[in-house]
Structure 1
Amino acid sequence: MGRASAILAAGTVVSRVLGFVRAVVLTTAIGLVAAGDAFGIGNQLPNNIYALIAGGVLSAVLVPQIVRAASHADGGASFINRVVTLGIVLFAGVTIAATLAAPVLVAIYAQGSTAGRGFTPEAFSLATAFAYWCLPQIFFYALYSLLSEVLNARKVFGPFTWAPVLNNVVSIAGLVAFMVLFGAAGQNKNVADWDSSKIALLGATTTLAVAAQALVLFLFWRRAGLKYRPDFRWRGVGLGATGRAAGWLFGMILIT
């Protein structure tokens, strides 16, 4: 137990240290104003939307259901495959809808997010471009949370604390590549300095980092005694109760 706790704590500490390093490198690459504001809005949107639609719901609802399903003849494997498949479908739908609505979401969020510096049409366009690249992170944040809860319920605790380390490593590597190709903040701090190649590299590597954080958890599926197979047979396995519980909790989150 002590060794497991140490592994979890170490993962958290390393992730936070690398997160700080990432923030420093990001500031060095694009600065804090103008382009930095635009990227901040585009990259923060998926976090906020994920927190709204799934924050707290998965851990509060899924873990008890998965633990209960462990008493099934197959150890809950069928239930888990169906839950994960359903989650992937739902998360993909929400992500597609949010990405299509990127200009609207940026317009709503930008109203109070520029620290009094104003938000020009050019900055709005840049923030929207970043949002198109970053909003797919919703899917991967939700998938990471879902897979983490499955592993936790199966008593495989380490991977979910270390997966964010991979996120930070990939993101830092992307930022270093960005600076090698396009220079540091002096060449990138103004909105007019940005073209499609800069936007694509920064946006794509940021989203790739979140994707790596989620997808790496599948490598630990066998350790949990599982083998994922997509299963679209959602009737008759108790998902209705899971959905009702999630609905009630989601309503409480909206109210509070």
Structure 2
Amino acid sequence: MLRGFFTNSAGTLVSRVLGFVRDLLTASVLGAGIYSDLFFVAFKLPNLFRRLFGEGAFTQAFLPSFTAARKKGIFAAAVLIKFSIFIALLTALVLLAAPVFTKVLAYGFSAEQIGLAVPYVRINFFYLTFIFVVTLFASLLQYRDHFATTAFSTALLNLAMIAALLLARGKDGATAVLYLSFG
């Protein structure tokens, strides 16, 4: 129990430090302007789902049912299939109606700025699929008393974004947002 506490604490600390480095690099590469605004708008929706899934809500809902299930493999597979179908439909909806979602996310943006943000919203939304898969498998690992994956998963996101920002240094703002979106 104490080991799990320290693992989660270490993961949170590493993630926060890397998030600080990521924020410094984001400010350095994108600055405070339209391109940083475009990225933050594009990342807003998947980041919301990351917070919902990745910060325990899914695990807290899933683990008690998984623990009570007699056929755990079938239960986990059913959750994987049902959520995958839901996420695929939601992703298709966001991809098709990206201008509408972008307009809602970027209230106050001009039509031109919304047009610039739409491709980034589409790219960033695919992150939701990865969030779900990591969260489901991390929940299964937590059932087996393995907490490191969950604790350090947001650190991996920060590392990917830091790498993208380092690669984007010296590039124009639109390219930097593209790199960061794929990161």
TM-score (norm 2): 0.86
> Rg: which structure is higher?
1
SS of equivalent residue, structure 1 residue 39: helix
Q: Distance in 2 between matches of 1:85 and 1:33?
A: 41
Q: Please tell me whether residue 39 in structure 1 is matched to residue 29 in structure 2.
A: no
1:99 is matched with which residue? 95
Say which structure, 1 or 2, has more relative contact order (CA 8 Å, 6+ apart).
2
Aligned residues with identical type, % of pairs? 27
With over 3 angstroms needed to count, the CA separation of the structure-2 counterparts of 1:4 and 1:41, relative to structure 1, is same
Go from structure 1 to structure 2 and tell me whether the alpha carbon gap of 1:41 and 1:12 turns closer, same or farther (over 3 Å shift): same
CA RMSD between the two structures: 2.5
Shift of the alpha carbon at 1:62?
1.4
Residue 198 (structure 1) shift: 4.6
Task: Give CA-to-partner distance per residue, 1:84-119, whole Å, 9 cap, x none.
Answer: 23222222221221222211011112115xxxxxx3
Matches within 5 A, 1:13-92: 13-48=13-48, 58-69=58-69, 72=70, 76-92=72-88
Task: Please say if residues 99 and 136 of structure 1, whose CA atoms lie closer than 8 Å, have aligned partners that are also in contact.
Answer: no
Residue 68 of structure 1 deviates from its aligned partner by 0.6
Q: Distance in 2 between matches of 1:14 and 1:54?
A: 16
Written as runs of structure 1 = structure 2, the 5 A alignment for 1:1-256 is 1-48=1-48, 58-69=58-69, 72=70, 76-111=72-107, 119-180=109-170, 182=171, 188=173, 194=174, 197-205=175-183
TM-score by length of 1: 0.63
- Provide the rounded CA distance (Å) in 1 between the counterparts of 2:151 and 2:77: 22
The gaps in structure 2 that reach 5 residues or longer are none
Which portions of structure 1, spanning 4 or more consecutive aligned residues, are displaced by more than 4 angstroms?
49-57
The equivalent of 1:247 in structure 2 is none
Superimposed CA distance per residue, residues 119-167 of structure 1 (whole angstroms, 9 cap, x where no aligned partner): 3333222211211111112222233332232322332222101121111
Match for residue 191 of structure 1? Answer: none
In structure 1, list runs of 5 or more residues that go unmatched: 113-118, 189-193, 206-256
